[in-house]
Structure 1
Amino acid sequence: MPPRWPERPTSGIIKDAQVIFTARRFAMPRLKVIDPATSEGVVKELFEGPLKQRQINIYKGLANSPAALQAYMGMAKALGTAKLGKKEQEVIQLAIAEAQGCHYCVAAHTDVGRRCKLSDEQMLGARRGRIDDDPKLNAVVRFALSMHEKRGFVSDAEIAELRKHGYADAEIAEMVASYALMIYTSTFNHVNDTVVDFPQPPGI
């Protein structure tokens, strides 16, 4: 099982997951929220281009630094051309979002996962650390969580297990990249206390 979400209440001690999620929706972020309508330079180009239809709060926070936003955009764009399937990438994102305790990331990637045709049970399974109805996706989730728990020092047997399920070296490298992207976004959201602007995901 992945670690439970850490208790990071906005005030006092909040232990109930529903209360924590609700608090996150109405908390104030720590960094300035960049308004796409008044943004400038590279940030304006991004908000009027690839981000025009998806001006969500994490992007408005990252936009405090064109370099930070471009770092995210570059990696996300590159993974869009990956051999590793969208479903595989999303179960990694969900598993590590849960392990990191990132309320924003879990909500966001539940939304993305539905658009990638993951079932609700598969998304919950990724967050719990086990997908029962798809051995290949389950192998990916287990590997992602092992990377997280072992700080990348996985065993030869774990690599062999992925290969047994048909994943080539390119796809294994892309699993690491997908993991790294979630570490970046979840850490940013913790630092910023990014306000959640997605529907609440199911509890696990």
Structure 2
Amino acid sequence: MSRIATPALDTATGATAEVYAQIRKAAGSVPNTYAAIGAHGPAALKAVLAAEGVLASGSLDKQDRETIKLLVSAVAGCDYCVAAHSLLGKMTGLSQDALKHIRAGEPTGDAKRDALIRFVKLLAGTSGTIAAEEFAAIKGAGYTDAQIVDISLAIALTGFTNVFNRINDTAIDFPAVD
């Protein structure tokens, strides 16, 4: 049971109802985390969705975005986000084996993805303070400056939902992860 009371979705009015309708149109349903955020902070939810739109139209492909979000969520210990991004990662074509390795912060056998995992894991553990060699390694793996901006944005967005879901103890409405 979540800690923050979330009224039934069909009772939402005003800005909250509008943002829920936007989510339903795009995704078919409103995930519990968005329901709780939107019920008490519709402007915050709109800002998150707008930033997610920027990220989606950016320089990272879907698998890279889900790799980042899944790994950051695993490092943060956010069970809700781990479940969500495991499912979303699967929907992008990441294999169950790759997802398992990403959750563990381990190499997947794909050199470029493994460089991303190493970089994101390092960033998550150091708040972004990295050695010049680490920056050179991600660039050497083929990631551009624009992609490094998008990696930073993905980490920031995931950090918000991780923290919120940990505070709220949001009820997981995605398939459980082993």
TM-score normalised by the shorter chain: which range applies? over 0.9
SS across alignment from 2:142: coil
SS across alignment from 1:174: helix
Q: CA RMSD of the aligned region, Å?
A: 1.2
Alignment partner, residue 100 of structure 2: 124
Unaligned 5+ segments in structure 2 are none
Q: TM-score, normalised by structure 1?
A: 0.82
Residue identity matched to 2:6: V
- 1:60 equivalent to 2:60? Answer no
- 1:42 equivalent to 2:12? Answer no
Aligned residues: 175
Alignment partner, residue 106 of structure 1: 82
Between the aligned partners of 1:71 and 1:49, the Cα distance in structure 2 is: 13
Please point out which of 132, 146, 150 is paired with 2:126.
150
Between the aligned partners of 1:51 and 1:43, the Cα distance in structure 2 is: 12
Alignment partner, residue 175 of structure 2: 199
Residue identity matched to 2:130: V
Residue identity matched to 1:96: V
Between the aligned partners of 1:142 and 1:60, the Cα distance in structure 2 is: 33
Alignment partner, residue 15 of structure 1: none
Measured against aligned partners, the alpha-carbon deviations of 1:166-190 in whole angstroms (never above 9, x if no partner) come to 1110001110111111110010001
Runs of at least 4 residues off by over 4 Å: none
Residue identity matched to 2:18: E
SS across alignment from 1:167: coil
